[in-house]
Amino acid sequence: MSNLITPSGLAARDWGLSVVVRQFEAARPIHSVRAALVWSERCETTLACAGGTWQCTLTIKPAPDRPDALDGEITFLLATGAAESCNVAIELDIPAWSPDHYVLAPAAVYNGNRFQVRKMPYPPMYQDAADIGLQPPIQISDVPHLECGPGESRLQLNTGDMATPCLGFFDPAQREGVLLLTTQASRFRNHGLGLRENAGRTRIALTLEAPCMRSDGMYVMSCSTHPTVDRAPSWREGETVTIPFRLFVFPSAEVQGLFDRFALVRKDLSGRVDLRQQIPFSAAWDIQERKFNRDNWRDAPTDQYYAVAQHSDIRYNDWQLGWVGGGMSGLPLLMAGTPLSRDRALRTIDFLFRRTQRPSGLLVGIFSKDRYWGDGFNVPGTDRWVMTRKIGDGLYFVMKHILLLQKSDPKSAVPELWRAGTLRLADRLVAIWNQYGQFGQLLDYEAGTLVQGGSTAGAILPAALALAGQFFNDPRYLEVAVAAGEFYYRRDVRAGLTTGGPGEILNAPDSESAFAMLESFVVLYEVTGKPEWLARAGEMARQCSSWVQSYDYRFPPDSPLGRLDLQATGSVWANVQNKHSAPGLCTLSGDALFKLWRATLDPWYLELLRDIVHGTPQYLSRADRPVHNLPDGWMCERVNTCDWEYNSIPPGHVFCGSCWCETSNMLSYVEIPGLYVNVDLDLAVAFDHIDAEVLGHEGGGLKVRLRNPTRFDAKVRILCEGRPDMARPLGQLGLWGRPEVRVPAGRSVDYIAFIAK
């Protein structure tokens, strides 16, 4: 292995290397020429194609900061002539391949997406009785995928399809991982990354091209064979294009090793991003609290609650439990809101139990116009279905509400409606686990039974049941929480697959179940104190990073996001089907990453968290700076870098809708400190849109200068502690009662942070 990641080492492995020039008619390749290259520090060759002579120069050298990587750069020069409709590529031919290789493209492809494909329009839903059962296979809609059956198989991806321009694989036979990193685009447009398996699945060609030409078809909303809009450019004599790349080859005992390495190198070619200070958390909070009381409050004679979106006749904008904010948005409003908001948050949980809990103990997923709706998108026979994920979110956030009531008034009793309803819900979940040995993906809310098994849709349930077991002192809940956490870890996490979190992707790989799994592992660590959960949380965090945008995508300059120069770094991709990134986590604050950092002092967690929570408020539409046509206080979930909706919401555009990311942003305000200070470590970390500078110790505390470069006054919530405090779990709602400091717009304030007694 020591000499593998060298030109001679790769040549000894029989890894072929070639350059290709292709000519197209529209998107159809009509002519191609290739030439083999020699693995060496510098290699040149000449090709004749499309009436021109092409000079190709490849340079390779050891990466200065990565002993397991090579830095490469391929330059194509049209030396003579003119060439119409051509693209260029470098191709690695890799033998000793099998379908057992795990293929990764961050946020786009997991295990090659080599799953059973169901060709359905959006939103896909289980319909065939053969697809429904306790142990279903992983089923996906027609997203870019490698084939399960015989014959040639290939992936063609645009760099905008991925959270990081990267394609890699894990080789279980050689116990190695391979990652190929590149940049977003050349002067033409986005690069393309591709992988082609031969018919016998015994070798592959790994391709990096400029510009991307998806000749097999482009992915558009559940269809991977839509006629492509890609067109190759015309070249004039003397024009060049250069494609940089970094190639890693490293030991990897299992799939997790691929994610571990990716997590550390995902920014190697883009570099760390300088996050801009735009609007303090508190200023964004004020806008959002007004918006929720203006647009989300439902005040019918019998039902009062915070709905998930604006007033409309669309039932999905009314009450949806969990997932997109129902029963979740009230938590930050209860913790940091005005008396009006706090009262309404309490009424929302009353409504949840009074109107949406069924005799089985389960909760209804959708309620609108005095009617219950199933989570099956009107497919016959699905009117009693509820997403397991929604049930888990419901229990988890009810427990957070209960814990907040206890923190705010330790002498007060939990409302009996809440207490009885929570116990009925937790008891039913224990019964489901004991009967089926899993929580599955879909439940029957009337019968209290499992409808569709499989998936990681219940990933948040270990956290929810652990909190219930701790609060109600019921060991049954904690036992099931631990058993479920073990089950998901062995079956899903170790396989590098978390699936089925959203309700309209069948059970495809997704970020929402991944981050829910991270949340559960951290809660299990805090509740049990067992170090294996901390280690598993670290593994899960590195898998989660593959869903987080690692660099600032260059949006089209005339698009709404491009005109505002918004930063895509830290936005979180949804799933392999719904190919958009979004502001924030659906639907969590991200405090699990903060807790991981406190427990490990690994700064990687801080950087990932800061990217996510710092970037989210910039997508809030404001009266002084609207995001396209969004009203004041609205946020759209679309951070489109991919052209999967090219004919309706192209890259850099949004739709006019109020989305769950508003709740995510509010949760971050109450669960992530605006400023973290550690007196013993002489450390100050700003997550808020402020600058922080440590000035030194003074009066037993740490003096920090806070500068607010924005146009908004800031109220910065501060968590200050010492090294001994870090050994104790922060637990739930750890920012309750923490001090705030006011920093006027454009001003600086010196603040002495003291450890709370």
378, part of any domain: no
Distance from C-alpha of 251 to C-alpha of 257, rounded to nearest angstrom: 8
The reply to whether 207 and 133 lie within a common domain is yes
The reply to whether 720 and 684 lie within a common domain is yes
What is the number of domains present in the chain?
4
Distance from C-alpha of 89 to C-alpha of 56, rounded to nearest angstrom: 10
Q: In the prediction, which pLDDT does 2 show? A: 42
| CATH assignment at residue 517 | 1.50.10.20
> pLDDT per residue over 604-662, tens digit each?
999 999 999 999 999 999 999 999 999 999 999 999 999 999 999 999 999 999 999 99
Look at the alpha carbons of 527, 531, 533, 535 in this order and tell me if their dihedral is positive or negative: positive
Q: In the prediction, which pLDDT does 663 show? A: 98
The reply to whether 681 and 614 lie within a common domain is no
240, part of any domain: yes
Rg (CA), the chain: 26
Question: Lowest-pLDDT range, 65-69, 83-87, 407-411, 541-545?
Answer: 407-411
Domain with 439, as residue range(s), is 391-443+453-546
Q: In the prediction, which pLDDT does 313 show? A: 84
The reply to whether 168 and 143 lie within a common domain is yes
The reply to whether 119 and 183 lie within a common domain is yes
User: Of the residues 265, 298, 325, which one is the last residue of a structural domain?
Assistant: 265
> First-to-last CA distance in the chain?
53
The reply to whether 102 and 158 lie within a common domain is yes
448, part of any domain: no
User: Of the residues 546, 568, 598, which one is the last residue of a structural domain?
Assistant: 546
Residues 47/33, Cβ–Cβ less than 8 Å: yes
Mean per-residue pLDDT for 68-80? 96
The reply to whether 310 and 228 lie within a common domain is no
Residues 576/509, Cβ–Cβ less than 8 Å: yes
Q: In the prediction, which pLDDT does 646 show? A: 95
Q: Is pLDDT of 154 > 90?
A: yes
612, part of any domain: yes
The reply to whether 137 and 58 lie within a common domain is yes
> pLDDT per residue over 420-478, tens digit each?
999 999 999 999 999 999 999 999 999 999 999 999 999 999 999 999 999 999 999 99
The reply to whether 143 and 260 lie within a common domain is yes
Q: Which backbone phi and psi does 589 adopt, to 5 degrees?
A: -85, -30
| CATH assignment at residue 91 | 2.70.98
Residues 630/654, Cβ–Cβ less than 8 Å: yes
6 — pLDDT class (breaks 50, 70, 90): confident
385, part of any domain: no
193, part of any domain: yes
| pTM of the shown model | 0.97
408, part of any domain: yes
The reply to whether 220 and 152 lie within a common domain is yes
User: Of the residues 669, 689, 709, which one is the last residue of a structural domain?
Assistant: 669
What are the tokens at 721? 């502690």
With a pLDDT cut of 90, the percent of the chain lying above it is 95
The reply to whether 495 and 583 lie within a common domain is no
The reply to whether 174 and 281 lie within a common domain is no
SS3 438: coil
Average pLDDT, the chain: 96
301 — pLDDT class (breaks 50, 70, 90): confident
Q: In the prediction, which pLDDT does 4 show? A: 64
What are the tokens at 341? 């908001």
Q: Which of 674, 672, 743 is nearest to 708 (CA)?
A: 743
> pLDDT per residue over 476-495, tens digit each?
999 999 999 999 999 999 99
Q: In the prediction, which pLDDT does 157 show? A: 98
Distance from C-alpha of 229 to C-alpha of 217, rounded to nearest angstrom: 9
DSSP string, 544-603: HGGGB--S-----TTSHHHHTT---TT-EE-BSSS--EESSBTTB--HHHHHHHHHH--H
Does residue 123 have a cis bond before it (omega within 30 degrees)?
yes
578, part of any domain: yes
